[in-house]
Every structure is written in structure tokens, then in C-alpha cells.
Structure 1
């Protein structure tokens, strides 16, 4: 099949790089987003997110006329939907998958569909979301046929292909990584594979839509369980006065052991979210997956308790001071190192709650963002942060690595990433 025009719905952290990489293969790409600022920025050849190499690819694609952004879907040969899939609260459950963005995207592209088009859901979704998307499309376009009713003979091909990229390396991994492509029929898989082979150098493996959906959820749940083990170890080691960093280094010398590094929690739109999609569908069976989520979701509060302990320690050592005199510096707000992505970030949550609870000055040092609109939390530079009384290291950005002379002073350090202390999480003279 010839794909003369490809439409990407949602120009965020996945949609924009995908659109740009396809356009770099000299394919006409129309990006669609409801955010007018994002659309205007892209059409200038600029980007509204931070991702290495992406600015160069977007600028070239726009300049050469292969990439254009708009707020309204237009006719195309293939539509890739890359919109958010957050949670909603329902019947006392705060982790119910919210498919409203997928529904809105489906209804938005429906008028532009024609016989022979391909629709691919890239959004990470609970099992069955692709079938639901096809049902919304069929409801909006009764004049066209879809795989759920007409199988291989359908007018529209529908498939699911989850992204599997690491923020900070998205442009490269979109090209190099293998892709799991799940069509609603074998022909849907074949047509979708032809699209991805335009830019993917990795292997394209076909399966069913449901299996493709579950594959992405399984990958991130596996990682979540392993992170939970490391985070639980850090809590145990702190209680019995052992350096978790040294312990993990020693344990990892076993040829079949590879324990991950603990942190302040788990963030991002994948690992912190995807396991709940499995739990929501099989709440009685997903016991280990649920427990891992609870361990990781509980880690931010544990760090906050450590901050409160540090404030008490500081005041006991400085009886002439009050809580209002204590300055706390939170180093890092993003959900992982060297990016600007704050989605589901435990570091941001910790900094915000500390600023709400502490009467003193709370500083936020995040070199990857330029502004922050959170009351009581002041965005500042590293030098200002080094003047604080308590350091809370939340993200191991490259700017924070190394043991500068200032860190050897009589500061209280809560190091959740092990890059300054390499010792128990709370230290100080």
C-alpha cells in the first residue's frame, strides 16, 4: 500500500517525534493537536518539548515541506493516534483507565476516513481499547465497514502498535527498536507493518491487537516490580543502618542477579500508569503487580517523612532557629534524569508537598525547565540551592553529579539516588 499522506493525532512526547521521523523519510505528514501553541510552534520549525535531536529533525522536516501541524484532522492514508490515557475516579477506584482522549480522537478523524485507510492506536491502553476505538469509528461512519464486522474485507484497517522508547533517546529508539504490531485481522497487521517499515530498522513482529496491548503493559509492569524490589530494599536498609547502594553493588556481583537502583518513587506516563491497567481488568489475579504499584506509590511519602526528620534534626542542632528559618533545596523535579518531563513525577510530588508542609523556604532546582507555577515552591539555580540547610536529591541530573566542595559542608543530605552520599539516605554532621 502507498502511504502518500500520514496523519499523527497528538503531538506530544511520542506523537511529535513519530511525525518528525516519518517526515524525515520524505513522506507527507500532517500532525494534529488541540494545543494551538504546539501547532504554531511546530509550524515555525520549533518544538515545544525537550528531546535531544528532535529540534533538528522537526526543523528540517518543516523547512522541506514534509511536516505540517493543524488543529483539525484532514484526509490521509493512515492515522496514528498518540493521545494520553490517564486515570479517572469511578466507584471509589482512582485508577480506572480514561479512554476519553482516544474517543475524542476517534470521533475527530472519523469524518476524514475513506475506504482503504489505516488507523493505528499507539496510545498505551488497557486490553480491548483498540476494539473500542474501532467501535467508536464504526458508530461515527456507518457508511464504512470495519474489522469487527467485516474481518479481512473491511474498508478500514485497524491495529495497535505501542511505542517502546526511552525519553531522552526517543528519536533513535523510534528507528532502532523492534515494534510489536497487533492488527484486528491478519491483513490489518500486514498493512500496519508496511507503514512502520517506512522508518523502523528494527524487526516488526505481528500479533493480535489484544496481545500487543498486553505486551506493552507487561513490559512496564515487569520493570515496575523490579523497581519496587529496589525501593523496598532501600526502606529496609535505612531502618537497619545499611547502605543500600553498597548492598546492591555487592549483590549484583552474583552472575544471575541484577537489582535496579532505588529512587523517590516511579514516574512518567508508562511505568507509573500501565500496571494499573492490568489491575483494573483483573483485580483479583494481579496481586504482585498491585503490591509493586503500592510500594512505588508509597515511596514519595517515605521521602517526605525523611524531610520532616531532617528538619527536626536541623532544629535540634540549631536551637536558636525555628522552622521558618530552615531552607530546603529539592534537586530535580522531572520523573527521570536529563529531561523536562514532569508527568507522574514523584520528585515533583515530593517537592510540592514539602513546600505545602514546611513554613520555611523551599527551593526547586530543575535545570531542564524554565518556569514553575506551584505556590510556595521557588524555581532557582544550583548555586542558590547549595546555600540551603537541607539538600533533597530527587533526580540524578548530570548537572548534580559529582561531589562538589559545597556538599562536604555541614549540610543534611537526603540522597534518594545515591550520587552524593553512597551512604544511608539521611546523613549529616
Structure 2
């Protein structure tokens, strides 16, 4: 089949780079997003996120007429849904996945579907979400047939193809990484492979939709468990007065050991979220995965307690000063180095907590962000040279700018071990 027009629903950190890659291959791409500012920015040939090389690709695609953005879906030959999959606000120990964005996207594209179209869910999702999406589409378009009831003879092809890229390297990894293709039928998988082969140079590996969903969750849960080991090790070493960074370096000299580096927690809309999709489906079975989540979610509170101790020590050694006279500088707010993505960021949440608990001034040094979220209205964004004048220093993200610098202070909480 031929895919002359491709629609990408959701123009965020995954959707926009994906749309740009198709457009760079001279395909007509219609990007859809509910954010009018994002739509307007893209239509000017600019980008609203930080991702190396993406700005040039988007500018060229828009200028040459291959990419446009809109808030309303239009007819296309293939639809890729790349919208958020957060949690519902509940007080239970195990968060419940929220598929509202996928449902809204499904109902938005349903009126413009036609026989022969391909619909791909790229959003990282709990097992069964692709089938649920197909049910929403089928309910909205009773005049069309779908794979669950009509198999290979369905009018609409449906697949789950999770993104597997690293922020900061998205453009390269979209092209080079292998792709998991989970069609609801063999023909669905074949259609998805044909679509992605427009730019994917990695291998397209086929499976069913449920296994494809679980593959992405498994990858990120594995990382979460490994990070939890490192974070737990850092807490143990602190109690035993051992340098965890030296310890890990020594242990990693063993040819079959590769311990990750500890940090202030786990962030981003992947590793900090995806394991819960497994736990919510199989709470009795997912014991290690659940424990890892609890270990990593608890690490920020441990860091905050370290900051409280640093402030107390400073006041003991400076008896003429009160707490409101103490300035705390937090270095890094994003969930990983050298990007502007604040989603599920432990650094951001730790900084918020410090602002709330400390009566003195709190400043943030974040070279990738020019404007702070409303939730941090009491926080001042400063440059590095201003930050180093603070009394207490809290290193939360190992941005390249910070690695090139150093701070010689006894009142330093370094969660990444770079200073």
C-alpha cells in the first residue's frame, strides 16, 4: 500500500521528531496537537522543545511544504498516535493508568478514517491499550471493519509500535534503532513495517500488539530495577561511611558487573511511569518491579533530608545567621542531563520541596530552561556564576555545563558524584 499522507497525533517529544522524520523523506505530514502555541510555533518552522538537530529538520520540512501542524485531524493514509499516558489522580498505593488522551485522540481521528487506513499507537501503554483503542474506533465508525472482529480482512489496520529513543538523541535513534512492530494481524504488521521503512534503518521486528506493549514496559522496568539497586546502594554506603562512587567504580571492574550510577530518584515519562503499568495489571506477581518503584520514589525524600542537615550544620557553624539568611542553590531541574524536559523530574520535585520547607532564598541553575513553571513562582532562576555564591549547594542533574565546573564547599549535596 502507499502512504502519501501521514498524520501524527501529539507533537511533543516523540510526535514532533517522528513527524519531522517522515517529512524529511518527502512525505506529506499533518501534525495534530491540542496546544495552539505548539501548532503556531511549528508552522513558523520553529520548535517548542529542546532536541538537538530537530530545529533544522522541522524548519526545512515546513519551508518545503511537507509538514504542517493543526489542531483538527484531517484525512490521511496512516495515523500515528503519540499522546501522553499519565496516571489517574487516586490515593491508592498503585497508580491507575489514564488512557483519556488515547481515547480523545481515537475519537478525534475516527471521523476522517477511510478504508485501507493504518492506525498506530506509539504512546507507551499498559497491556491491552491497543485493543481498547481499536474498540473506541470501531464504536465511532460502525461503517468500517476492524481487526478484532474481521481479522486480516478488516478495513482498518491497527498496530502498536512503541518508541524506543533517548531524549537528546531522538533524531539519530529514530533512524538507527530497531523497531518493535506489534500488529493486531499479520497484515497490520506488514503495513506498519512499510510505513516505518520510510526512514527506519534498524530492523523492524514483528510480534503481536500485546507483546509489543509489554516489550517497552519491560525495557524501562529493567532500567528502573537497576537504578533502584544503585540508589539503595548509595543510601547503604552513606550510612556505612563509604564513598559509593568509588565503590561502584571498583565493582564495575569485574567483567560481568555493570552497576549504574545513583541519583536523586528517577524521572521522565518512561522509567518513572512504565513499571506502574505492569504493577497495576499484575500487582501480586510484580514484586521486584513494585519494590524498585518504591525505592526510587523514596530517594528524593532522602535527598531533602540531606539538604536539611546541610542547612542545620551551616547554622551551627554560623550562629549569627538565621535560616532566612541562608541561600540554597539547586543545580538542574530536568529529569536527565542536557535537555529541558521536566516531566516526572525528581530534581524539580526536590527543588519544590526545598522551596516549601526552607524559609530563606532558593535559587535554581538550569541552563536548558529559560522560564520556570507556575508551580515554582517562588523560585529564582539564575546563572551558574550567581548560583556559586549561595551558602548551600544541591547538585541534582549532571548537565555538561556543571561537569566543566566545580564547587569547593563543605555544604554540598552532590547526588550525581561529579563535584
Q: Normalising TM by the smaller chain, what interval?
A: over 0.9
Q: Which structure 1 residue ranges, 4+ long, deviate > 4 Å from structure 2?
A: none
Query: Hey, what's the Cα distance between the residues in 1 that align with 2:167 and 2:287?
Result: 29
- Determine the structure 1 residue equivalent to 2:217: 217
Kindly indicate whether residue 389 of structure 2 is the aligned counterpart of residue 387 of structure 1.
yes
CA drift of 1:92 comes to: 2.9
Q: TM-score, normalised by structure 1?
A: 0.96
- Determine the structure 1 residue equivalent to 2:289: 289
Query: Hey, what's the Cα distance between the residues in 1 that align with 2:229 and 2:354?
Result: 25
CA drift of 1:220 comes to: 0.2
Would you say how many aligned residue pairs link Structure 1 and Structure 2? 417
Secondary structure of the residue that 2:65 maps to in structure 1?
coil
- Determine the structure 1 residue equivalent to 2:315: 315
- Determine the structure 2 residue equivalent to 1:60: 60
Bigger shift: 367-376 or 194-203?
A: 367-376
Query: Hey, what's the Cα distance between the residues in 2 that align with 1:337 and 1:94?
Result: 28
Kindly indicate whether residue 278 of structure 2 is the aligned counterpart of residue 270 of structure 1.
no
1:375 paired residue among 372, 377, 384: 377
CA drift of 1:411 comes to: 4.2
Equivalence map 1:356-371=2 (5 Å): 356-371=356-371
Give deviations 1:160-210, integer Å, cap 9, x for gaps.
000000000000000000000000011101111100111100000000000
CA RMSD in angstroms comes to 0.8
Secondary structure of the residue that 1:271 maps to in structure 2?
coil
- Determine the structure 2 residue equivalent to 1:197: 197
Secondary structure of the residue that 1:119 maps to in structure 2?
strand
Residues 91, 148 of structure 1: alpha-carbon distance in 2 compared, 3 angstrom cutoff: farther
Equivalence map 1:11-410=2 (5 Å): 11-90=11-90, 92-93=92-93, 95-372=95-372, 373=374, 374-404=376-406, 407-408=407-408, 410=409
CA drift of 1:377 comes to: 1.2
Residues 318, 375 of structure 1: alpha-carbon distance in 2 compared, 3 angstrom cutoff: same
Give deviations 1:270-323, integer Å, cap 9, x for gaps.
000000000000000000000000000000000000000001000010011110
**8 Å Cα contact 1:272-1:344 kept in structure 2:** yes
**8 Å Cα contact 1:391-1:411 kept in structure 2:** no
CA drift of 1:89 comes to: 3.1
**8 Å Cα contact 1:402-1:419 kept in structure 2:** no
- Determine the structure 2 residue equivalent to 1:418: 417
Secondary structure of the residue that 2:31 maps to in structure 1?
strand
Query: Hey, what's the Cα distance between the residues in 2 that align with 1:225 and 1:94?
Result: 17
Residues 419, 91 of structure 1: alpha-carbon distance in 2 compared, 3 angstrom cutoff: closer
